[in-house]
Amino acid sequence: MIKIGDKVRFLNAVGGGIVRRIDRDIVLVEEEDGFETPVLARECVVIESGRVQDTRAVPVDKKESPRRAPQVMPVIEPEDEPELPIVETTGGNKINLYLAFLPEEDRRLNQTAFDVYLINDSNYYLDYICMSRNNEGDGWAMIYRGTIEPNIQFYMETITHEDVTAFEHFSIQAVAYKRDKSYPYKEPISTILHIDPVKFYKLHTFGENDFFDENAWVVPVVENDLPTRPLRIDAQSLAEAMRQKADDRPRKKVVSHKQVQTGPLEIDLHIHQLVDTTAGMSNSDMLQLQLQTFRDTLDAHRKEKGRKIVFIHGKGDGVLRRAILDELQRRYKNYDYQDASFREYGFGATQVTIR
């Protein structure tokens, strides 16, 4: 949001200066020669703030906002300067919240970094907390916290492929409100997103969207006041509720039957099963992605004792097979493994049994 006293640069022309007046979406910028130039607010980018700022954000002006928000420098000025009023949009009284990932180089997805945005496409302020589940699966860690203004694309940070696992189990909680006016009540937002890290390697994940000129992966969090995540039932709470209701009922002897597995789980590690294109990927990049898929699969099923998993790696030159055997000998020593059925897989698969 541009304010009086901000130092700005013109997006579509050479020049810039200090904002002296604001008239709706027009700002008067005093340039070095002392003349005031009228410019559309969306055609200016703040390069130095006239007041202390603690966010980097750009307005949700679909398809017309700059990709990145400016770096705001904290400069203290008197606090009696008028601020640009919040302009409400048609349909903005429904909460629409999105998480967005923008690749810096969408033709080199195996190496590029990703800009992370939180998009508030509503007329409400949102006080939010973002959390990531820890590696042990028994707790959560807060990674973002703040307030996002109405109709804003809020830049949070730039991440690498090493960071994307933080979004595999990602929770957003938020409270919606308006300032200095009455408004319809909104239920607090609490949702958990499950974002597949492998999708960051796939070109078709990032496409045209309503918020950026560049291709982006826009993940719906809330649409028209409704969280987009599927309903998840807390099994422990459900079991407790069922026990309480069963207290007044006569008990019956129940014969327990173990669940019978119909066959081993098959995981195809051929690179073209994991990514749509290998353009820009080196042999080392492809091997690391295949091994990471191998590790993620074993970790996901680590509590299923006796589970058999067949990893299809192909015969090839044996590099992937040797790497898998090395992982089993070093990181998964208690698991049993053997060549999978020759009749079904030839020499191109390894069967692992969870112990």
The whole model's pTM is what?
0.48
pLDDT tens digits, residue range 83-114?
556 778 888 899 999 999 999 988 888 889 99
pLDDT of 56: 41
pLDDT tens digits, residue range 126-182?
999 999 988 776 789 998 899 999 998 898 899 998 888 888 889 999 999 999 889
Instruction: Tell which wins on pLDDT, 279 or 234.
Output: 279
CA–CA distances in Å: residue 212 to residues 110, 178, 264, 279: 22, 26, 44, 24
Q: What's domain 1-84's architecture?
A: Roll (2.30)
Helix (H, G, I), strand (E, B) or coil at 242: helix
Share of the chain above pLDDT 70, in %: 79
Instruction: CATH number for 97-227: choose from 3.40.30.10, 2.60.40.1600, 3.30.470.20, 2.60.120.380.
Output: 2.60.40.1600
294 CA to centre of own chain: 23
pLDDT of 117: 94
Which of 249-258, 277-286, 310-319, 345-354 is the least confident region? Answer: 249-258
Nearest CA to 95 out of 232, 212, 172, 187 is that of 187
- Residue 247's pLDDT band (cuts 50, 70, 90): low
Which region holds residue 211: left if phi is over 0, alpha if psi is between -120 and 50, else beta?
alpha
Tell me the average pLDDT across 198-220. Answer: 90
Instruction: Tell which wins on pLDDT, 61 or 12.
Output: 12
Say if residue 184's pLDDT is above 80: yes
User: Looking at the chain, which residues constitute the CATH 2.60.40.1600 domain(s)?
Assistant: 97-227
pLDDT of 85: 61
CATH T-level topology, domain 265-353: Ribosomal Protein S8; Chain: A, domain 1 (3.30.1370)
Say if residue 64's pLDDT is above 70: no
User: Looking at the chain, which residues constitute the CATH 2.30.30 domain(s)?
Assistant: 1-84
User: Looking at the chain, which residues constitute the CATH 3.30.1370.110 domain(s)?
Assistant: 265-353
pLDDT of 118: 94
CB 29 within 8 A of CB 39: yes
Tell me the average pLDDT across 264-275. Answer: 88
pLDDT of 78: 40
pLDDT tens digits, residue range 19-43?
888 877 788 888 888 888 888 888 8
